């Protein structure tokens, strides 16, 4: 799927993320967002996929099939279920190198790497296998993280409408 096709699927979307809010969020992160996701926020400030059956299908780092359904899509919004800022409170046990950008219908997080070796990559965070409260905050020790794509652009390319297959 192209980015434009993906954007066409998103409902309840708002115009671009306001530049001051984008700058404030990046300041909170301590760095600029990866360019392809930043361009996405400028094109669409989050929304949801309604009753559509969009899913990501790709290959994991070991070559096996990986997938994720898509539900809420994050932006710089006031509604907690669309908010990149609120997600930092809602998902306190995400690794510090990742931020929530979407979720699946089961509450698993689709995350964007924002620092280090993880920067720009897209990961699935499994809610049912979240690390304990005494966990050190790293991707390596989380035990519930799976690489989905090497970039947001690659992720969107592997999104398809499973209802029409």
Tens of pLDDT along the chain (165 residues) come to 999 999 999 998 888 899 999 999 999 999 999 999 999 999 999 999 877 789 999 887 788 888 899 999 999 999 999 999 999 888 878 998 999 999 999 889 999 999 999 999 999 999 888 888 889 989 999 999 999 999 999 999 999 987 665
Q: How many domains does the chain have?
A: 1
Sign of CA dihedral 127, 128, 132, 135: negative
Question: What's the domain range around 98?
Answer: 3-164
**Spatial distance between the Cα atoms of 148 and 143, rounded to a whole number of angstroms:** 15
d(CA 121, CA 141): 18
Rounded Cα distance between 157 and 165, Å, is: 16
Contact predicate 56/155, CB 8 Å = yes
The CATH number of whichever domain residue 101 belongs to comes to 3.40.1580.10
* Closest alpha carbon to 120 in 91, 97, 90, 136: 97
Rounded to whole angstroms, the Cα distance separating 5 from 125 reads: 25
Would the pTM count as exceeding 0.85? yes
């Amino acid at each position: 799927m192209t980015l434009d096709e993906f954007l066409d699927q998103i409902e309840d979307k708002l115009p671009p993320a306001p530049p001051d809010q984008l700058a404030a969020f990046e300041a909170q992160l301590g760095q600029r967002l990866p360019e392809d996701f930043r361009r996405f926020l400028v094109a669409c400030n989050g929304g949801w996929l309604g009753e559509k059956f969009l899913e990501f299908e790709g290959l994991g780092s070991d070559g096996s099939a990986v997938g994720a359904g898509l539900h809420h899509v994050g932006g710089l919004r006031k509604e907690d279920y669309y908010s990149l800022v609120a997600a930092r409170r809602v998902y306190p046990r995400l690794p510090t190198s990742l931020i929530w950008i979407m979720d699946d219908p089961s509450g698993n997080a689709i995350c964007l790497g924002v620092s280090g070796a993880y920067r720009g990559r897209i990961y699935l965070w499994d809610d049912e296998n979240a690390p304990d409260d005494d966990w050190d905050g790293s991707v390596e020790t989380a035990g519930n993280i799976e690489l989905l794509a090497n970039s947001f652009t690659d992720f969107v390319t592997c999104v398809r409408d499973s209802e029409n297959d």
